[in-house]
Amino acid sequence: MKLFDRWRTPEVHADVGSGFWAAEAQSMQQILRSTALSGERRLAVVSARLRFTAGLEGRVVILWRNTIAGFVPGDRAAALRRQLTEAGEAQLVADGEVREHSGLWRIWVGSWPGTAVPEPPADEIVPEPTRILGIPLTGRGAS
């Protein structure tokens, strides 16, 4: 037993089945890039220890390095909500990856399937517009 283990919250490994893509990758791009370490931003795949927590409106939030990195897709949310309840005070965790897929950084929860990779879920949250000095860039100005 390590010195600080008695103060750490126990972990329970989530059953994520064959794995899945986290939802809302488009709106999480800036967060994913800023959470990755500088050397990791050059890699195609970064191993990730992911944690789940209950969110608003029945959502299940995926945390990577204590930062909101995405959401469990709707078709998987009920099973993970149940596991969160069963875990009680323990942290519900899973291994996964942060990887570039179709031009976006995305979170894959579980073991990478290798062959038949499913399509990511459709995003529902509109991404923030690109900003310079706090001013949103919404395209060319009207003439």
List pLDDT tens digits, range 130-140: 667 767 666 55
pLDDT for position 80: 97
Higher-confidence position of 136 and 109? 109
How many residues comprise the chain?
A: 143
Distances 12 to 36, 91, 118, 126, 140 between C-alpha atoms, Å? 24, 6, 26, 33, 50
Rounded CA gap, 52 and 80, in Å?
8
pTM (2 d.p.): 0.79
Higher-confidence position of 30 and 91? 91
pLDDT grade for 32, boundaries at 50, 70 and 90: confident
Higher-confidence position of 4 and 67? 67
Contact residues for 123 (Cβ-Cβ < 8 A; gap 6+): 23, 24, 25, 26, 27
Sketch the domain layout of the chain as residue ranges: 10-112
Q: Which two tokens stand for residue 103?
A: 């031009």
Amino acid at 13: H
